[in-house]
Amino acid sequence: MAILLIAEHNNQSLKSETHKVVQAASAIGGDITVLVAGLNCAAAANEAATIIGVSKVLLADNAAYEHQLAENIAGLVAELGANFSHILAPATTTGKNFLPRVAAMLDVAQISDVIAIESSDTFVRPIYAGNAIATVKSTDAIKVLTVRPAAFRAAQTGNSATVETVAAVHDAGVSKYISAELTKSERPELTAARVVISGGRGMQNGENFALLNGIADKLGAAIGASRAAVDAGFVPNDMQVGQTGKIVAPDLYIAVGISGAIQHLAGMKDSKVIVAINKDAEAPIFQIADYGLVADLFTVLPELEQLL
């Protein structure tokens, strides 16, 4: 078995999702080759070479790959991937964007959002917003999978795999990068944080999200949100946790002013410990919370910040 794994990075450094997908790849078994495609991304490739379990790193350094445009990355991955038994990428917005394109180019299915590896051809994935868990078996010659990072531990570092340069340039010429507005934050990333505190419609407005800051500071937490809070414009889209947002599984998840719709639960119900703060004792979030506090969030949050 030979596995090609596409690294997630920002051209400077590797994202932790990559380490988690390596862990999933190790469960399949076989040689793991990591592809780092980007521009001036040698440092990220060197970082990938330190992950235990990786046998080789391929570095494709070209302007065509700078912004991870799906049309270009997919061309590269489909060419390189033809010789592998498995192609894996994290189920992030980047992986979800280019990997189905790769699968179609190779005329094979993609299995999305894998949360467990049963064997080299059998995988487990949630469907219906996590209300059902499907085990699927593939007889495709190349298995193409996006892997849900929250479901796997990060592979350790301490390796020194070889880094090889790939000359292939794929520029499909149909798409162009225009701009990006990236949210800047000193806090840990939502999907990597040990503690997440999320606010919902109950927060009432964007300014009130500041009430979560002090608590997040003390706990080293990332701040998330429900879709209702994002839709209402309280906070940016990249904070959304849920079926169609980010999937998190921290040690501690604190839901504040969130009712607990199934689409929200789909993104956080695998957290180790869940706390819910809601003034409505009947809110469905309490059915899955380990610790529920029925109270007004505007009195609770300042008190919580003080007691931590």
Ligand X SMILES: Cc1cc2nc3c(=O)[nH]c(=O)nc-3n(C[C@H](O)[C@H](O)[C@H](O)COP(=O)(O)OP(=O)(O)OC[C@H]3O[C@@H](n4cnc5c(N)ncnc54)[C@H](O)[C@@H]3O)c2cc1C
Contact positions with ligand X (CB under 6 A) in 252-271? 257-259, 261, 263-264, 267
Q: Does 85 bind another protein (CB under 8 A)?
A: no
Which of 24, 23, 28, 20 shows the shortest CA–CA distance to 1?
Answer: 28
- Min dist CB 120 to ligand X, Å, is 32
Q: Which residues, numbered 115-134, are part of the site for another protein (CB under 8 A)? A: 122, 126-134
Q: How far apart are CA 85 and CA 72, in angstroms?
A: 22
Q: Does 250 bind ligand X (CB under 6 A)?
A: no
The secondary structure element, H or E, covering residue 22 is: helix 16-28
Which of residues 7, 76, 197, 300 is near another protein by CB under 8 A?
Answer: 300
Q: Which residues, numbered 158-217, are part of the site for another protein (CB under 8 A)? A: 172-183, 191, 195
- Residue 97's Cβ-count burial label (10 Å; 0-12, 13-18, 19+) is middle
Which of residues 217, 273, 280, 296 is near another protein by CB under 8 A?
Answer: 273
Q: Which residues, numbered 230-249, are part of the site for another protein (CB under 8 A)? A: 230-231, 236-238, 243-244, 246
Contacts of residue 191, Cβ cutoff 8 Å, sequence gap at least 6: 16, 17, 92, 149, 150, 246, 247, 248
C-beta pairs of 13-18 under 8 Å, 24+ apart in sequence: 13/43, 13/44, 13/47, 14/44, 14/47, 14/48, 15/90, 15/92, 15/189, 16/149, 16/154, 16/189, 16/191, 16/192, 17/90, 17/92, 17/149, 17/191, 18/48, 18/51, 18/90
Q: Does 292 bind ligand X (CB under 6 A)?
A: no
Q: Does 12 bind another protein (CB under 8 A)?
A: no
Say if CB 124 and CB 133 are below 8 A apart.
Answer: yes
- Min dist CB 278 to another protein, Å, is 11
Among the listed ranges 54-62, 88-96, 156-164, 199-207, the one in contact with another protein (CB under 8 A) is 88-96
Which of residues 56, 96, 187, 279 is near another protein by CB under 8 A?
Answer: 96
Q: Does 18 bind another protein (CB under 8 A)?
A: no
Among the listed ranges 3-11, 23-31, 188-196, 222-230, the one in contact with ligand X (CB under 6 A) is 222-230
Among the listed ranges 24-32, 36-44, 50-58, 93-101, the one in contact with another protein (CB under 8 A) is 93-101
Q: How far apart are CA 242 and CA 85, in angstroms?
A: 31
Residues found near ligand X in the complex (CB under 6 A): 200-202, 226-229, 240-245, 257-259, 261, 263-264, 267, 278-280, 283, 296-298
